[in-house]
Amino acid sequence: MKKRVAIFISGGGSNMVRLVEDMQSGDHPAEPVLVLANDAEAGGLKKAADMGVATAVVDHRPFKGDREAFQKALQAELDRVQPDILCLAGFMRVLTESFVAPWEGRMLNIHPSLLPKYKGLHTHARALEAGDAEHGCTVHLVTPALDDGPMLGQARVPVLDGDTPDALAARVLTQEHKLYPAVLRRFAAGDTSFLEL
CA distances from 162 to 69, 71, 134, 165 (A): 45, 42, 14, 10
Residues 2, 12, 104, 160: which binds ligand GRF (CB under 6 A)?
12
CA dist 149 and 122 (Å) reads 19
Site stretch for ligand GRF (CB under 6 A), options 4-12, 22-30, 100-108, 158-166: 4-12
Residues 89, 159, 183, 195: which binds ligand GRF (CB under 6 A)?
89
Residues 90, 149, 153, 181: which binds ligand GRF (CB under 6 A)?
90
Site stretch for ligand GRF (CB under 6 A), options 21-29, 104-112, 153-161, 186-194: 104-112
Active site (annotated) includes residue 111: yes
Who contacts 102 (Cβ-Cβ below 8 Å, separation ≥6)?
none
Work out whether 112 is an interface residue with ligand GRF (CB under 6 A): yes
Of 105, 128, 103, 106, which is closest to residue 117 (Cα–Cα)?
A: 128
Q: Annotated active-site positions, please?
A: 111
